[in-house]
Amino acid sequence: MDDEALAEDLREAIGELVRAVRTADTMPPGEAAVLGHLDRSGPQTTAELAHRRGVTHQSAAKSVKELIDSGWVRAAPHPSDGRKLVLHLTDTGRARLQQERSQRATWLNTAIHDALNPDERRQLRDCVTLLTRLTTRITGQ
């Protein structure tokens, strides 16, 4: 298998895995993504969230409104630009995000143990290190 075929197979397999794991989600993907970005990167404006997610400002604003209404995100005045609001993850939002992440992990753990034998699980564990290194290379982080 050449490197381009490997890259395509990997892209397809990871995409299918991500879509399959999302079936366990209990909150809309846009809202989960916003909570995740705020958790990983800290407070941001709606425009910054839209840019990071690669969605329109309107799409991000809709998710943000729902999250604020739920009490999972709070908005505070921007320290240097009075026209903007900075969004913060609340403790309740962090707990809700952790619940969602835990549910995904439990669901995936069950699938791993149902589908893979101990040797395959060790192989998969080794692959996680490689996938993390690839992600770091791609994102530059």
pLDDT of residue 70: 96
Q: Which helix (H) or strand (E) covers residue 87, if one does? A: strand 85-89
Looking at the structure of the chain, the number of domains it has is 1
Task: Summarize the confidence of residues 64-70 as an average pLDDT.
Answer: 96
Range of the domain at 40: 3-139
pLDDT tens for each residue of 6-16: 999 999 999 99
Write down the pTM of the prediction.
0.80
pLDDT of residue 24: 83
- In angstroms, what is the C-alpha Rg of the chain? 18
For position 115, which CATH number holds? 1.10.10.10
Say if residue 141's pLDDT is above 80. no
Lowest mean pLDDT among 14-23, 64-73, 107-116, 122-131: 14-23
Task: Say how many C-beta atoms besides its own lie within 10 A of residue 97's C-beta.
Answer: 20
